[in-house]
Amino acid sequence: MKEQPAGASDRELVSRAQRGEESAFEELVYRYDRKVLSIACSFARDPEDAKDIYQDVFLRVHRALPRFEFGSEFSTWLYRIVMNVCLSYKRRAAGGAYTSLDTVLEQNPQESSADPALRSRTASPDRIAEDGEIRRHIEDAIGTLSPKEKLVFTLKHFEGYKLREIAAMMDCTEGTVKKYLFTAVAKVRRKLKRVYL
């Protein structure tokens, strides 16, 4: 098999993979695997389910790649597949919350919640217990969202995507994404207000 140049573009790698070069496909997987797994972990409660989503995504990509015609960027096409697999998973599995919430809160506390208890971290057992309880309530609140609301909320607040990027991934308008996001945020706030007021 040929060695891939270090700076090969997605387009070059896709073209080579379409010609049967497995190493080109492996490079595409390597390039996007962490992001795909991160989205899967944000969407599925169980790490094993997240791995199943991840595997299903790249299996579908491998099968569909010969028919990819560069009508969009490869990354946009890939993320649309991720969206579809996540939504299919949600339809099959009841519930679902976030496995990576701890990491998200540590990396991005201001965006995740306005609650000062989430931002002020100490090592005291009381604070750890309190934070754990708050995280549980946040996970429960997010678990009440519809699949598309949850997906938009996850991509925006946990993965850091811009609204136009989410719209491209979901193949819908930016206005539709805003609507899902507005509804999701309102639902989460309403649910948390009952607990913390």
Can you list the domains of the chain with their CATH numbers? 10-92 (1.10.1740.10), 101-196 (1.10.10.10)
- Rounded CA-CA distance 56/70 in Å is 22
- Rounded CA-CA distance 20/18 in Å is 5
What are the residues whose beta carbons fall under 8 Å from the beta carbon of 4, sequence distance 6 or more?
Answer: 13, 16, 23, 24, 27
User: Cα–Cα–Cα angle for 126, 131, 133, nearest 5°?
Assistant: 95
Positions in the chain whose pLDDT score sits under 70? 1-6, 91-132, 134-135, 194-197
Asked if 176 contacts 195 with a C-beta cutoff of 8 angstroms, the reply is no
**Nearest CA among 64, 133, 94 for reference residue 28:** 64
DSSP state of 5: P
Our measurement of the distance from residue 42's CA atom to the centroid of its chain's CA atoms, rounded to an integer in Å, reads 5
Asked if 75 contacts 10 with a C-beta cutoff of 8 angstroms, the reply is yes
**Nearest CA among 5, 125, 2, 17 for reference residue 65:** 17
- Rounded CA-CA distance 40/85 in Å is 9
Q: What is the CB neighbour count within 10 angstroms for residue 56?
A: 18
Which residue's structure tokens are 């679902």?
Answer: 96
What's the count of helices (H) and strands (E) in the chain, helices before strands?
A: 11, 0
Please report the pLDDT score of residue 98 as a whole number.
33
Please report the pLDDT score of residue 107 as a whole number.
38
Asked if 22 contacts 2 with a C-beta cutoff of 8 angstroms, the reply is no
- Report the half-sphere exposure of 54 (CA within 13 A, side-chain side): 20
Dihedral sign for Cα atoms in the order 97, 102, 107, 109? positive
Please report the pLDDT score of residue 116 as a whole number.
35
Please report the pLDDT score of residue 106 as a whole number.
38
